[in-house]
Amino acid sequence: MLYQTHEIQRAGLKACFGMATVSLRFQSSLMRAFNMASLANELDAVAEITHRISKDYPKPSFGLNSAFVHEEVILDKPFGSLLHFRRDTTRNDPKILLVAPMSGHYATLLRSLVRDLLPHHDVYITDWKSARDVPSAHGDFSLEDYTAYLHDFMTALGPDVHVTGISQSTVPVLTVTALMASQKSAVQPASITLMCGPIDTRVAPTSIGQFAKEKPLDWFRKNVIATVPQAYPGAGRSVYPGFMQLLGLKLNDMERHTRAITDLYNHVRNDNQVEADKIRSHYDEYDAMMDSSASFYLDTIEQVFQTHTLARGVMTWRDQVVDPSAITKTALLTIEGEKDSICGLGQTMAAHRLCSNLPTKMRFAHVEPGAGHYDVIDARRITGFVRDVAKQAGMTYDQIPDCAALPPQYAQETAIRIQGGNNDNTGARIIHIPPKPNTA
């Protein structure tokens, strides 16, 4: 009844706060008619907040279609598709696959990353679908199925692709790369970039990780899994609802979100629409959430946060052992935020320990000072890494065009700069690889 109760409450809030918003805006227009601008702005500010409580947040569009960029689906599957941002150009640019996390937000959360990469990369992205919109006839979707989807996507793009995993998706990205290496596949990716992901949650555990570890799996099954109501195509499907995921994310960083709403109120009250629009745009994206398949969610809780199968070297996929030490041909970059409250510092860097047979010259890492979980998603770091890897592998690309949207210090093809460690003959800097944690 969890989902049904939420839908009833949402309908009630929408009706109540919707009427309040209309009333407040009507009163505001009256105040302006009587030249009471200050009071009108105050009413507008209150109306803004009530409107955001009552409005729906549908899946956003990428909005990148233009005369020069065209969105096209390369592979379409029930729970997600491989989307290509095809450009009208003959340029020979690096092929990038962005693997969006399936952790509530839609792939459009990476819109700015796609936009910044487009001038000098051939960009693809995994566009996951909300489980509530997938008819139950298509069956279940587990972490193993997610891995299979990614395996198909990466195979379709070939060995010259550079794959970027972000947050939750770093685990399946490393998993598929390890499987391809063990199989001696001809389509192993040229590089993988892992950004702020839970590769080994035993390292620097966060409050989210601790909560996931301490509660028995059956607790999650009973308390956060719900059944999709009849109003949706996926009626009857068991899911981890998007509204529950959003609540968890906001509670984890309540101070920041409260400050943002307060700032929005003040910007509207002071008639500063430029700054208000920035916050509106961010939360129109942030508050649009998708439901995750219950199986996928519970698999993630169990394997990533409770039993640490990948980190301990005991993960299997379709009876095949997932062995990251088999990776020897795919360069690795890990990127972390110093102040990440979701994936603690060192959790992503643990991938270097797992990829123990990868040559040192193919290992890269970056820690962004003072950065949180969402602050490290930056096209500049991927660009520098990919271009450096290409040089090492003898891959040639066209020069970055002068019109590319990159700051001057990244305008040339240079290796990404790494904090700490020692220089080697590539010109890049290699991070110290931490020892294996002692905890079980």
Which DSSP string do the residues of 39-103 spell out, in sequence order? HHHHHHHHHHHHHHHH---PPPP-----SSEEEEEEEEETTEEEEEEEES------EEEEE---S
The whole-number pLDDT of residue 53 equals 83
The per-residue pLDDT for range 93-130, each reduced to its tens digit, is 999 999 999 988 899 999 999 999 998 899 999 999 99
The whole-number pLDDT of residue 404 equals 55
The whole-number pLDDT of residue 392 equals 83
- The three-class DSSP label of residue 194 is strand
The whole-number pLDDT of residue 408 equals 37
Would you say 303 and 212 are in contact if contact means Cβ atoms under 8 Å apart? no
User: CA-based angle 274:278:280, to the nearest 5?
Assistant: 110
The whole-number pLDDT of residue 437 equals 54
The per-residue pLDDT for range 316-336, each reduced to its tens digit, is 999 999 999 999 999 999 999
Q: What DSSP state is assigned to residue 260?
A: H
Distance (Å, whole) CA 252 – CA 215: 17
Distance (Å, whole) CA 154 – CA 268: 46
Average pLDDT over residues 242-247: 86
The whole-number pLDDT of residue 158 equals 93
Helix then strand then coil, in percent of the chain rounded to 5, is: 45, 15, 40
Residue 201 buriedness (CB in 10 A; 0-12 / 13-18 / 19+):
buried
Q: Could you tell me whether strands 422-423 and 429-430 are parallel, antiparallel, or unpaired per DSSP bridges? A: antiparallel
Q: What DSSP state is assigned to residue 321?
A: E
Question: What domains, with CATH codes, occur in the chain?
Answer: 2-56+242-290 (no CATH), 69-212+293-430 (3.40.50.1820)
Beta-ladder partners of 364: 333
Q: Which among 415, 431, 440 has a CA at the least distance from the CA of 351?
A: 431
For residue 434, pLDDT beyond 60: no
Kindly list the distances between the CA atom of residue 334 and the CA atoms of 98, 165, 321, 323, 363, in Å, as whole numbers in the listed order: 14, 10, 23, 18, 8
Is the model more confident about 153 or about 65? 153
Q: Tally the C-alpha atoms within 13 A of residue 347's C-alpha that lie toward its C-beta.
A: 30
Is the model more confident about 45 or about 388? 45
Q: Which among 94, 90, 69 has a CA at the least distance from the CA of 413?
A: 94
Average pLDDT over residues 144-160: 97
Average pLDDT over residues 159-181: 97
- The three-class DSSP label of residue 136 is helix
For residue 431, pLDDT beyond 60: no
The whole-number pLDDT of residue 204 equals 93
The per-residue pLDDT for range 379-398, each reduced to its tens digit, is 888 888 898 888 888 888 98
- Which tokens hold the place of 122? 């051939």
The pLDDT > 70 percentage for the chain reads 91
- Which tokens hold the place of 143? 């972490």
pTM of the complete model: 0.86
For residue 9, pLDDT beyond 50: yes
For residue 91, pLDDT beyond 50: yes
Confidence of residue 402 (pLDDT cuts 50, 70, 90): low
Q: What DSSP state is assigned to residue 411?
A: S
The per-residue pLDDT for range 11-36, each reduced to its tens digit, is 887 888 888 899 999 999 988 888 89
- The three-class DSSP label of residue 344 is coil
Distance (Å, whole) CA 403 – CA 298: 45
The pLDDT > 90 percentage for the chain reads 62
The per-residue pLDDT for range 249-308, each reduced to its tens digit, is 788 778 888 999 999 999 999 999 999 999 998 898 889 999 999 999 999 999 999 999
The chain-wide mean pLDDT, for the chain, equals 87
The whole-number pLDDT of residue 34 equals 85
Would you say 187 and 150 are in contact if contact means Cβ atoms under 8 Å apart? no
Q: Which among 281, 357, 291 has a CA at the least distance from the CA of 141?
A: 291
Distance (Å, whole) CA 267 – CA 259: 12
Q: What DSSP state is assigned to residue 303?
A: I
The per-residue pLDDT for range 363-375, each reduced to its tens digit, is 888 888 888 888 8
The whole-number pLDDT of residue 99 equals 98
- Measured over all CA atoms, what is the biggest interatomic distance in the chain, rounded to whole angstroms? 76
Confidence of residue 67 (pLDDT cuts 50, 70, 90): confident
